[in-house]
Amino acid sequence: MDDSVAESIELEKAAKPKSPWFAVVLAFMITGLGHFYARRFKRGIGFIVFEFLATIAIFCIISIPDLKFTMGLVSLSSIISILYLVWYLRDTYSCTKSYNEVNQLKYSRSIKRFSLSLIAFMVVLGMKCFYITPGLAVALFVKHNYLEAFHIPDFNYPQKYSILKPEPYEGAMFPCIKPDDRLLVNKIAYQNQIPAMGDLVVFKYPVNPIDSYVMRVVGLPGQKLEIKDQQVWVDGQPLIEPPFDTIQYDYTRIHYDIKYGKSGQRFTVPPNHLFVLGDNAGKSNDSTVWGFLPLENVTGKAFKIYWPPERSGPLY
């Protein structure tokens, strides 16, 4: 077979009519694949680059700390994404149809081929509904097993517009951690060990495990505790090393009914439990109120403030 015959065979293969609906299925399955099928390679690469940049932009939007602003952008992005998808699939259909017209090819619109394309499209649509991109899968895996962001709610927003101007909300860990701070939590810090004295632990609230709190460890299993002279005494010795040297545990002004930490009261931390307190004693719903924290409720160690920028830094 000479070169001219081989070339004519290749041209004949390339000149076969393309199915616009099959191109739409390919495009819906993998970005750009429908355009490659229609031999519009540059256009397909352009869509791939665009969606890659759009994905980066979406992740940046999600990381914005302002929740209301973020939700607004996410809603707008969802509408734009739907419009973009319709335009993108329509463009794939048009490019394939144009390919047939330019090459003077007649595509058979048989019911069988149309039905198969439609079925394939519906199957891919179902798969797409449950599809998770690799980047999102990695992010979810890291969040669930290694590192997670933790937000301290700020209840001062309604008070800013209140006529009565009530006392500002400081939070249980003020001034170490303030309302609206964003923290990074190490979720594997306690896989092979228990928290140390003074650690800032994030845990599921024993009274209502749906909620999560962050507080400081002041008592380990088996230790005998007493709160007196605005200090925590452990096994007969006061906690005076940093950061305890700057914390005053004054529960005379507490807003809650306390079970532990009353004047002259001594108690022992039971096995597999911790005793945790907020630095802002008297305004903290901590172990003095609801008791000992089971170790199984601890989900990680807070080690850094990452937002706002002016407060960014390690936690002690």
Q: Is the peptide bond before 166 cis (omega within 30 degrees of 0)?
A: no
Distance of CA 116 to the CA centre of its chain: 39
CB 280 within 8 A of CB 170: yes
Angle at 301 between CA 295 and CA 303, to 5 degrees: 165
pLDDT of residue 290: 93
The confidence score (pLDDT) of residue 122 equals 62
CA dist 19 → 90, 92, 276 (Å): 14, 11, 67
pLDDT at 281: 83
Classify burial at 236, counting beta carbons within 10 Å of its beta carbon; exposed 0-12, middle 13-18, buried 19 or more. exposed
How far is residue 64's CA from residue 74's CA, in Å, rounded to a whole number? 11
**Residue 193's pLDDT is what?**
92
> pLDDT truncated to tens, each residue of the chain (316 aa)?
444 444 444 444 456 778 787 888 788 778 888 888 888 899 989 988 888 887 777 666 555 545 455 556 666 766 777 788 888 888 988 888 888 787 776 665 554 556 566 656 666 555 554 444 555 555 556 666 678 888 888 765 444 444 444 556 678 898 899 988 989 899 999 988 999 999 999 999 999 988 899 999 999 999 999 998 889 999 999 998 988 988 888 876 666 678 888 878 999 999 999 999 999 887 888 999 999 999 999 999 999 998 888 898 899 8
Radius of gyration of the chain measured on its C-alpha atoms? 31
pLDDT of residue 72: 63
Q: Can you tell me the distance from the alpha carbon of 187 to that of 299, in angstroms, rounded to the nearest whole number?
A: 6
What pLDDT is recorded for position 216? 96
pLDDT value of position 10: 47
Task: Quote the pLDDT of residue 217.
Answer: 96
Q: What local confidence, expressed as pLDDT, does residue 235 receive?
A: 94
The Cα 115–Cα 107 span in angstroms is 15
Q: Which domains does the chain have, with CATH numbers?
A: 11-131 (no CATH), 145-314 (2.10.109.10)
d(CA 215, CA 187): 15
